[in-house]
Amino acid sequence: MSAFSQAVFVCAAGRPAELPPEGPPEIAFAGRSNVGKSSAINALLGRRRLAHTSKTPGRTQTINFYRLRGEARLVDLPGYGFARAPQALRARWGGLVSDYLRSRSTLAAVVLVMDARHPLAALDEQLLEWLGGTRLFALLTKADQLSRTEQRAALERVRRRLSERAGEAQVRLFSSRTGLGVEEVRELLEAWLQAGPPACSRNKRPPVKGK
């Protein structure tokens, strides 16, 4: 049976003090607001509404932890770049997310979720740079909105960009709506979880600008 079946919600952290203790390996889903992070988690877990989703950007406001079979966790992060959120809120989410990504020693990989129609936006590039050699999975969501030709072009563009960085990386087209990529992404993430955090890539990250 897949590690992704029968997942359960563990907790939501709105402040660093509310994060659950480090333990099992974690895979965190990061990306701009509204790209489909929470929807991707639901699709991978085979659940419709375990993670809350919304048409309006800024739905996920806490770091939400889901436990898989065998203890590993998927982690749903608040999105970045939500321009209409008040400055104070944006600063709080940004701080919470960057602290988590920077300091979590049990982080096995980051899934960078991007809209396949416009991947590698400025904030995605910033995150990429900042993550250094962290093991990375680029998920090009909403691929159902693109033609085959456009899908191939997006995939190629992101693949080329990721080949320039240090650290292991994968990229796949994905659709929470049609199920495109779901099974394959599950299998690859499961393999990464079994492998645990890579030995030294976490040390390669440069300090965060402005912190």
Ligand X SMILES: Nc1nc2c(ncn2[C@@H]2O[C@H](COP(=O)(O)OP(=O)(O)OP(=O)(O)O)[C@@H](O)[C@H]2O)c(=O)[nH]1
Contact partners, residue 14, CB within 8 Å, separation at least 6: 61, 62, 63, 96
Which residue's Cβ lies closest to ligand X? 79
**Residue 134 near which of ligand X, Mg ion, none (CB within 5-8 Å, type-dependent):** none
142 near ligand X, judged by CB under 6 A: yes
Query: In whole angstroms, what is the distance from residue 109 CA to residue 112 CA?
Result: 10
Helix axis angle, 182-195 relative to 37-45, nearest 10°?
90
Minimum Å gap between C-beta 191 and ligand X is 23
| 13: its two tokens | 């952290």
Closest CB to ligand X among residues 35, 107: 35
Q: Which residues pair with 75 in a beta bridge?
A: 28, 65
132 near ligand X, judged by CB under 6 A: no
| 115: its two tokens | 């809209």
Closest CB to ligand X among residues 130, 168: 130
Contact partners, residue 153, CB within 8 Å, separation at least 6: none
Nearest Cα to Cα of residue 131 among 36, 206, 71: 206
33 close to 57: Cβ distance less than 8 angstroms:
yes
User: Residue type for 106, please?
Assistant: T
Determine the interface stretch with ligand X among 7-15, 53-61, 154-162, 194-202 (rule: CB under 6 A).
53-61
Minimum Å gap between C-beta 165 and ligand X is 22
Closest CB to ligand X among residues 37, 172: 37
Determine the interface stretch with ligand X among 101-109, 149-157, 174-182, 200-208 (rule: CB under 6 A).
174-182
42 near Mg ion, judged by CB under 5 A: no
44-73 footprint of Mg ion as x/- string (CB under 5 A): ---------------xx-------------
| 74: its two tokens | 């998927």
Instruction: Note the residues at the interface with ligand X (CB under 6 A).
Output: 31, 33-39, 53-55, 57-60, 78-79, 141-142, 144-145, 175-177
